[in-house]
């Protein structure tokens, strides 16, 4: 008699216990930040010529960046005293990790940020799938951090429909159908490659124009990132402008006029208008002197 009664009681006990056990043991509202400061982030080496594929998943550490909490991958760049070119690709799956890149100098001071505009949509081409991709020049910076922002995560990217990609490759009329839209998220697969700028690696720079097949210009123009409206670009802070002036001076003193011009152009895009006149003044004084 006793066992007959206790069996249903046991069942009820289990039924009651189940939802309790299902409660998450860690509060989900505030994901833990891995580190207190940028300098203590877990950096991994990115050697010249390396091509790394990194999955950004639930196991990837998080950090509270100024723009908000985000998963990230941090790299230590070679100290070769020269420029590098980084190619960063974020592959599209159910969602896509829309990257943002922060560069730090050797003293772990932030120098530049590359926002979403630096990683536009690259339609599937060759056998490579849809991706967000950008190429960045590294001028003396030593650390590179790939992350995203809550603001970016609220956006989405319009892709080219694969039936249209097929039609273009085949010389057929693409079907007039809407393109799929993939939401931005905080997981994904990124590929990063570091090349020595101006190096002459056979099969790389020589064949790149042929092998780095670009999508048809028209199709790329028609696609693009759909993002919430962003605030109007502001003038750069004095610190940013100082950085560019210093970099221009360094380039001029090493006789690299091309680099100085490029820096001035980047500075202009960043809202640091004074850098250009600084360069002109330096050139002017050089001519007069």
Partner 1 sequence: MASESRMLMRAPMLGAAIAATVFSSAAFAVDFHGYLRSGIGATSGGGDQACFQAAGAPAKYRLGNECETYAEVGFGAELYNQDERSFYLDTMIAYKSNQANDWEAALGDNGDDGNPYDNSVASVRQFNVQAKNVIDALPGATLWAGKRYYKRHDVHINDYYYWDLSGPGAGIEDIDLGFGKLALAWTRNTDGTWVYDGAGTGTNVANDTVDVRLGDLEVNKDGMLELGFDYGSANLSEIQRDDPGFEDQKGYLFTVEHTQGNWFGGFNKLALQYATDGMVGTGHNNSAAGDGDMFRLVDQGVVKLGANTEMMYVAIYEDKDLDAGNGQTWTSFGVRPVYNWNEVMSTALELGYDLVEPQGDGDDADLVKLTLAQQWSAGRSFWARPQLRAFVTYARWDGDVYNAASESIDMGEDDGLTFGFQVEAWW
User: What residues line the site for partner 1 (CB under 8 A)?
Assistant: 36-38, 64-67, 85, 102, 108-115, 117-119, 125-127, 129, 134-137, 162-163, 165-166, 168-173, 175-178, 205, 208-218, 233-237, 239-240, 262, 265-266, 269-272
Q: Choose between 67 and 95: whose C-beta lies nearer to partner 1.
A: 67
Query: Rounded to the nearest whole angstrom, what is the least distance from the CB of residue 238 to partner 1 in the complex?
Result: 9
In the bound complex, what is the minimum distance in angstroms from residue 88's beta carbon to partner 1? Answer: 10
Q: Report the nearest approach of partner 1 to the CB of residue 157 (Å).
A: 16
Non-local CB neighbours of 191 within 8 Å, separated by 6+ positions: 51, 52, 53, 54, 87, 88, 89, 90, 91
Q: How far is the CB of 260 from partner 1 (least distance, A)?
A: 14
Shortest separation between residue 59's beta carbon and partner 1, angstroms: 20
5 or 118, CB closer to partner 1? 118
Q: Which is nearer to partner 1, 45 or 265 (CB)?
A: 265
As a whole number of angstroms, the distance between CA 246 and CA 238 comes to: 12
CB of 123 to partner 1, least distance (A): 11
Tokens linked to 275: 């850098």
Closer residue to partner 1, CB minimum distance, 73 or 112: 112
Measured from the CB atom, the residue of 40 and 284 that comes closer to partner 1 is 40
In the complex with partner 1, which residue's Cβ is closer, 140 or 215?
A: 215
Task: Extract long-range pairs of 28-35: CB within 8 Å, 24+ residues apart.
Answer: 31/62, 31/69, 32/62, 33/62, 33/63, 33/64, 33/69, 34/61, 34/62, 34/63, 35/61, 35/63
Cα separation, 122 vs 223, whole angstroms: 9
The sign of the CA dihedral 254, 260, 263, 268 is positive
Beta bridge partners of 136: 86
d(CA 162, CA 185): 21
């Amino acid at each position: 008699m006793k066992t007959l009664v206790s069996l249903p009681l046991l069942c009820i006990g289990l039924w009651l216990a189940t939802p309790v056990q299902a409660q998450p043991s860690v509060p989900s509202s505030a994901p833990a930040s891995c580190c207190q400061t940028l300098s203590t982030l877990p950096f991994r080496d990115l050697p010249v010529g390396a091509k790394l594929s990194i999955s950004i998943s639930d196991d990837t550490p998080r950090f509270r960046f100024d723009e908000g909490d985000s998963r990230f991958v941090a790299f230590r760049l070679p100290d070769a005293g020269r420029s590098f070119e980084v190619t960063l690709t974020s592959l599209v799956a159910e969602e896509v990790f829309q990257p943002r890149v922060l560069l730090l100098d050797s003293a772990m001071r932030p120098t530049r940020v590359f926002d979403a505009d630096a990683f536009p949509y690259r339609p599937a081409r060759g056998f490579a799938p849809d991706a967000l991709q950008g190429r960045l020049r590294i001028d003396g910076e030593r650390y590179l951090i790939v992350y995203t922002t809550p603001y970016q995560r609220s956006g989405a990217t319009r892709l080219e429909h694969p039936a249209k990609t097929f039609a273009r490759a085949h010389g057929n009329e693409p079907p007039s159908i809407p393109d799929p839209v993939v939401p931005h998220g905080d997981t994904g697969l990124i590929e990063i490659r570091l090349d020595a700028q101006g190096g002459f690696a056979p099969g790389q720079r020589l064949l790149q124009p042929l092998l780095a097949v670009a999508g048809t210009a028209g199709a790329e123009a028609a696609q693009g990132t759909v993002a919430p409206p962003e605030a109007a670009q502001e003038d750069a802070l004095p610190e940013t402008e100082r950085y560019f002036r210093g970099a221009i001076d360094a380039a001029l003193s090493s006789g690299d006029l091309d680099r100085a011009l490029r820096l001035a152009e980047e500075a202009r895009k960043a809202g640091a208008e004074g850098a250009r006149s600084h360069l002109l003044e330096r050139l002017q004084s050089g001519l007069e002197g």
